[in-house]
Structure 1
Amino acid sequence: MTNQETDKISVLYVDDEENNLRSFKATFRKIYKVHTAISGEEGLEVLKNNEIQIIITDQRMPEMTGIEFLTKVLDFKKEPMRMLLTGYSDINAVIDSINKGEVYRYLTKPWNENELRSAIESAYEVFALRKENKELLKKLEIANDQLEFLLRQRLLS
């Protein structure tokens, strides 16, 4: 894998329509590392075997809705940013996606390439900031532990 390939944002797109998966991959494969899955179950397998930063899923799929898929994702991977994509303006789906699936963004089908690219880029910015904050918090905890140790040493001497 080239260095350029490892620097690409890793996106998982889950949709039960093969044409949508092909279209997404053809549109974004040059700028993102694109993974696709035709079902929620397949999407979970992709997540278990790959480092994914952004997840985009269709809402209306047989066997597992997009919200159900995103809720299952939260059980084992909280880091990826999650977006729900649907052709139906179902307000209950929007509310559930925000409350249950902790969705970053809700988008409608058919998707607009520029709008979707912008949503992926902004989601990645949030992803990167959260990761950086997590790393800084770890460093701060280590520094606090070291300071506490030094203070105890001085008090005992």
Structure 2
Amino acid sequence: MNTQATQILFVDDEPMVLETISLVFRGWHFKTAVGADAALKLISEEKFAVVVSDQRMPDMTGVELLKRVKEQYPETIRILLTGYSDLDSIIEAINAGEVWRFINKRGKMINSEAL
């Protein structure tokens, strides 16, 4: 397992979103994962400084994924993206410490300044 935590992991179930993120963050050290299961596999193989996850995914929610990341790697910064208004679960996750930051992607371009 790589012990360097210099990368960002972006997780979304929509490949087009990940393609856009790849263009926006060109030149940064990052990887992408299509879905939570793929993300957990990558996280078991490499250490990431930041995990940015979409909330609504079919295999598990972003909050559930980031909670698992926190349990295994508490030093990893966890950021939640969502275009939906499921604010109750997001507020609960922030208050529980599972999520460091929440970014609403609806109507806004995801950019490096948001992180």
Quickly name the TM-score band, shorter chain normalised: 0.7 to 0.9
- Count of aligned positions: 111
Q: 1:107 aligns with which of 84, 94, 103?
A: 103
Which 4+ residue blocks in structure 1 deviate beyond 6 angstroms? none
TM-score, normalised by the number of residues in structure 1: 0.64
Instruction: Name the residue aligned to 2:74.
Output: 78
**Percent identity among equivalent residues?**
36
Q: 1:45 aligns with which of 16, 41, 44?
A: 41
Does the CA-based 8 Å contact 2:37-2:59 persist in structure 1? Answer: no
Q: 1:56 aligns with which of 52, 57, 70?
A: 52
Cα deviation per residue 1:115-148 (whole Å; 9 max; x = unaligned)?
A: x41243xxxxxxxxxxxxxxxxxxxxxxxxxxxx
Higher strand share: 2
Matched, 1:117 2:108: no
Matched, 1:35 2:31: yes
Does the CA-based 8 Å contact 2:10-2:32 persist in structure 1? Answer: yes
Instruction: Name the residue aligned to 2:16.
Output: 19
Does the CA-based 8 Å contact 2:63-2:90 persist in structure 1? Answer: no
TM-score, normalised by the number of residues in structure 2: 0.85
Who wins on radius of gyration, i.e. which is larger? Answer: 1
Higher helix share: 1
Coordinate RMSD, CA, aligned: 2.0
Higher RCO (C-alpha under 8 Å, 6+ residues apart)? 2
Structure 1: gaps of 5 or more residues? 1-7, 121-157
Instruction: Name the residue aligned to 1:95.
Output: 91
- The CA distance in 2 between the partners of 1:98 and 1:80, in whole Å, is 15
1:117 aligns to what SS in structure 2? Answer: coil
